[in-house]
Each structure stands twice: as structure tokens, then as C-alpha cells.
Amino acid sequence: MNSDIHNFHRMEINDRRNIIKELSNLNENDMNIMNNYVDENSFDMIENVYTLMSLPVGIATNFRINGSDYLIPMSIEEPSVIAACSNGAKYARICGGFTAYSTESIMRGEIEIYNIPDIELAIIKIMKEKNKILEMANTRSKTLSRLNAGAINIEFKIINNEIILYLIVNVKDAMGANVINTMLEYISGCIENITGGKTNLRIMSNLTTERITYAYAKFDGNALGEEIVDRIIMANNFAKNDIYRATTHNKGIMNGIDAVLLATLNDFRAEEANAHAYASINGYKPLTEYAKDNDGNLIGSIRIPVAVGTVGGATKTSKKAQLNMKILGIRDSNEFANVLASVGLAQNFAALRALADEGIQKGHMKLHARNIAISAGATGSKIDKIVNTMLDENNISYSRAIELLNGDKNGKL
């Protein structure tokens, strides 16, 4: 499979669909879901449903990660994101693409223990019963136990005369929330008996400091130019020293990652909290690093916590989400995390390149003008005519689009 598809963005939608079908080995049922399927299961996913909200799903091209090519489904309302992500991947592809690695899927659950007669004695008692507690927790998931995974350790923190018990769990290909919360609730009674205290909160943490993904890419210096390489490195250093800039810098990373998570109906809100909390551990910093090698190429890397699943969850409820996972073609949660980190790095690089070169608005405003033309009622070839006129005039507004559309109806455009 080759994700380097020439002029994919210029193709008619049916031509794009046929290419995706061929490259992803989709069948006719898959194509029916892609073309016109209304996922009635979505009405049962949440409470009080009255309608469905639709967002466009596009494909980011040019991605090569760990030697394999990927088509990346992304769902987002913001113009220019997918184009920028594909462009970032293209600069990396020249030098071989992305290299990524994910650690094991280690998560933490927390139990808050209060009204403890003797905190130090309570900790000793828990440690003496550690194996029993872990065995109890692991009865809640036959699947994890069968995979030699599940609850693997217990840690503690003392806060304001309370013990915070951390249950450390290897969740394999699950995101982990449901199984960890089930474990915590099941063992909490045993914890109370051992400590003589009471348990309050029993909940998984969305900060996954042991579940980290690393991605690396070399962006071709000849294609970028020496000045742009230097300016991108300066921009990243700017983010290291200014929290206002760092916030927007990391938001650009999440533009890409969130869009993939939304297309596959994974929990993008959890990943947002995870990434930003991790960036804040030693004072809020950018999640990426950039440097220049001896040949003048730009070296980019990202280190980001990623807790994402390929089993269970809403993905298995929605046929559209299942289709997008099939197009993505991943085998397990580690591979999925590798893709997400690479997308985040590509998105960040593309944003910095645009900022360091012509500015972020040039490409964005062209797509913004297109949205305005469509909202004004333009269709077919009229869209490009109105967009090009508004850009030439530097007058991108709904009222101007209406004027141009009316002029076209009168044969004046």
C-alpha cells in the first residue's frame, strides 16, 4: 500500500472512494457504509438522543510509519488541518517517514482511603496482602488474565492524612477505563477491612505516565531551506519559554490526534487531558523537540502519553468507526499509538513551517473562503470562481460571496 497519492485533494469524491477501497481492501458492504449508511446504533450510544451530528471525515495521505504506509482517517470541522498533516508527512517521507515506539499499556487506578487509624501500619498491612489484592483485581478480567496482563503492582501516596492507593494495570489493547474501574470497586471492600479505614473515590486516572509513545522524523532540509529549518527550531524554543505559545503549540499537535480519535470514536477528551497534564509535570512545555543535523535536515521528535484502545468502547458500536479502523489498518493499541504520535508530530511540524514561512493564514483562508462560498449556496465550478475572486480581492466574507453568486446567476462573474 502506497499512501503517497498524487493530487488526492483534487479528485472527485467517487475517485477518492475508489482509491481508498482498493488500498484498504474494502468490500461492497464497506462501501455502502462509506457512501450512505445511517448508523442507527448511534441512537443507543448515549441517553436522550434526538438527532445525529455529522462531521466530515477526510484522509491524510503520505504517511509512512515504521516502514509501512497508512491512510489516516481524520474527522474535524476546521479547514486546512488535513491538508497540513498530509503536507507534513510528505516532508518526512522524503527521508524515510516516521519512526515510532510505544511502551506497554500501563495505566493507574486510584483508591482514596480516609479515616485510617494508623496510616503507616495500614500501608504495611496492604503490602503484606498485596498478592491477594492483585489476584482479586484480576478476577474481574478473564481476557487480561489469559494474556498474562492485568493488575501488576500497588503503589502509595499519603495526602492530608489519607492514603492514595495506586493500582498499576497492564490493559494490553484496551483503553482501560472500564476494566480498571471495575477492579477498583471490587477490591475497595477488602482495602477497608485491611486498613480499618473508609474508601471514597475509586477511579482510573487519565494521566498515563507509564504509557508513552515516541515518534521521530527527519524533515528534508533541502526542501525546506536553511532559513525555515532555523526558524522552526526557534519557534519550538519560543514555546519552551512562553506558556502562552506552548499552549497553542500543543493545541496544534492535538488538532491531528483528536481528529483521528474522533474518526474512530475513541475518547479524544481523555487524550487531551492526558497530553496537557503530561506537558505540565515540570512546568507547561511543548511536547515536541526540534534540532538540525549535520546535513542541514530538521530532526523532529515527540514524546506523548497515549492511552487508546482497539478493543471495546464506542468503536465496536459504530459501523462508520469500524470502517475507519479498517482503512487505518492497525493491528493493536501500540501500533495505533504510533500512528497517533506520528500524526501529532506531522501536524505540529506543518503548523510551525507555515508560521515560519508565509504565515498560518494563507492556506487557512483559502479553505475558509471555500466554506463561505458553499454556505452562500455556490455549487460545482462556481465554488472555485467565487473563492478565487474573493482571494484576489482580499475580501473574504459571506456578503461578498452572495454578491458574486448573484452576479454569476446574471452572467457577470
Are residues 261 and 308 in contact, defined by beta-carbon separation less than 8 angstroms?
Answer: yes
Instruction: Flag whether pLDDT at 383 surpasses 60.
Output: yes
Split at pLDDT 50, 70, 90, the class of 364 is low
3-state DSSP call for residue 73? strand
Instruction: Flag whether pLDDT at 378 surpasses 70.
Output: yes
Pick from 120-129, 138-147, 380-389 the range whose average pLDDT is largest.
120-129
Residues 384 and 269 in one domain: no
Pick the catalytic residue: 69, 267, 271, 335? 267
The burial class, CB within 10 Å (0-12 / 13-18 / 19+), for 172 is: buried
3-state DSSP call for residue 209? coil
Residues 120 and 194 in one domain: yes
Average pLDDT on 77-99 reads: 94
Look at the chain and report how many structural domains it folds into: 3
Split at pLDDT 50, 70, 90, the class of 318 is confident
- Amino acid (1-letter code) at residue 191: I
Residues 142 and 32 in one domain: no
Give Cα 119 to chain centroid, integer Å. Answer: 40
Residues 341 and 198 in one domain: no
Instruction: Flag whether pLDDT at 40 surpasses 70.
Output: no
Instruction: Flag whether pLDDT at 276 surpasses 60.
Output: yes
Residue 196 lies in a domain: yes
Of 298, 304, 315, residue with least CA distance to 344: 304
CATH code of residue 393: 1.10.8
- Alpha carbons 214 and 101: distance in angstroms, whole number: 5
Instruction: Flag whether pLDDT at 217 surpasses 70.
Output: yes
Residues 80 and 226 in one domain: yes
Residue 384 lies in a domain: yes
Containing structural domain, residue 402:
363-409
78 is catalytic: yes
C-alpha cell at 391: 482571494
Residues 82 and 225 in one domain: yes
Average pLDDT on 328-344 reads: 96
The pLDDT of residue 207 is 97
Region of poorest pLDDT, from 29-38, 87-96, 106-115, 190-199:
29-38
Instruction: Flag whether pLDDT at 203 surpasses 80.
Output: yes
Average pLDDT on 102-124 reads: 96
The burial class, CB within 10 Å (0-12 / 13-18 / 19+), for 228 is: middle
Residues 377 and 348 in one domain: no
Split at pLDDT 50, 70, 90, the class of 409 is low
Residue 274 lies in a domain: yes
The pLDDT of residue 291 is 97
Listed in sequence order, the residues at least 6 apart from 127 whose beta carbon sits closer than 8 Å to its beta carbon are 154
Pick the catalytic residue: 240, 251, 292, 326? 251
Are residues 17 and 31 in contact, defined by beta-carbon separation less than 8 angstroms?
Answer: yes
Instruction: Flag whether pLDDT at 216 surpasses 80.
Output: yes
The pLDDT of residue 49 is 75
**Integer CA distances (angstroms), 146 to 124, 140, 154, 359, in order:** 30, 12, 21, 53
Q: Supply φ then ψ for residue 115, to 5 degrees.
A: 55, 45
104 is catalytic: no
- Alpha carbons 128 and 270: distance in angstroms, whole number: 34
The pLDDT of residue 372 is 87
Are residues 182 and 311 in contact, defined by beta-carbon separation less than 8 angstroms?
Answer: no
Listed in sequence order, the residues at least 6 apart from 218 whose beta carbon sits closer than 8 Å to its beta carbon are 92, 95, 96, 293, 297, 298, 299, 300
Are residues 63 and 89 in contact, defined by beta-carbon separation less than 8 angstroms?
Answer: yes
The burial class, CB within 10 Å (0-12 / 13-18 / 19+), for 7 is: exposed
Residue 3 lies in a domain: no
Instruction: Flag whether pLDDT at 365 surpasses 80.
Output: no
Residues 219 and 326 in one domain: yes
Instruction: Flag whether pLDDT at 62 surpasses 90.
Output: yes
Listed in sequence order, the residues at least 6 apart from 350 whose beta carbon sits closer than 8 Å to its beta carbon are 84, 85, 87, 88
Residues 279 and 298 in one domain: yes
The pLDDT of residue 174 is 81
Looking at 188, 204, 220, the residue that finishes a domain is 204
Pick the catalytic residue: 78, 118, 120, 384? 78
- Alpha carbons 154 and 169: distance in angstroms, whole number: 9
Instruction: Flag whether pLDDT at 136 surpasses 80.
Output: yes
The pLDDT of residue 127 is 96
| Mean predicted lDDT score pLDDT of the chain | 91
Listed in sequence order, the residues at least 6 apart from 413 whose beta carbon sits closer than 8 Å to its beta carbon are 382, 385, 386, 389, 404, 407
Instruction: Flag whether pLDDT at 37 surpasses 70.
Output: no
C-alpha cell at 70: 497508512
Residue 99 lies in a domain: no
Q: Any idea what DSSP says for residue 233? A: H
Pick the catalytic residue: 21, 198, 276, 364? 364
% the chain with pLDDT above 90? 69
Instruction: Flag whether pLDDT at 64 surpasses 80.
Output: yes
- Alpha carbons 410 and 413: distance in angstroms, whole number: 8
227 is catalytic: no
Average pLDDT on 145-171 reads: 93
Looking at 180, 204, 228, the residue that finishes a domain is 204
267 is catalytic: yes
The pLDDT of residue 215 is 98
CATH code of residue 198: 3.30.70.420
Instruction: Flag whether pLDDT at 209 surpasses 90.
Output: yes
CATH code of residue 68: 3.90.770.10
Give Cα 298 to chain centroid, integer Å. Answer: 23
The pLDDT of residue 78 is 87
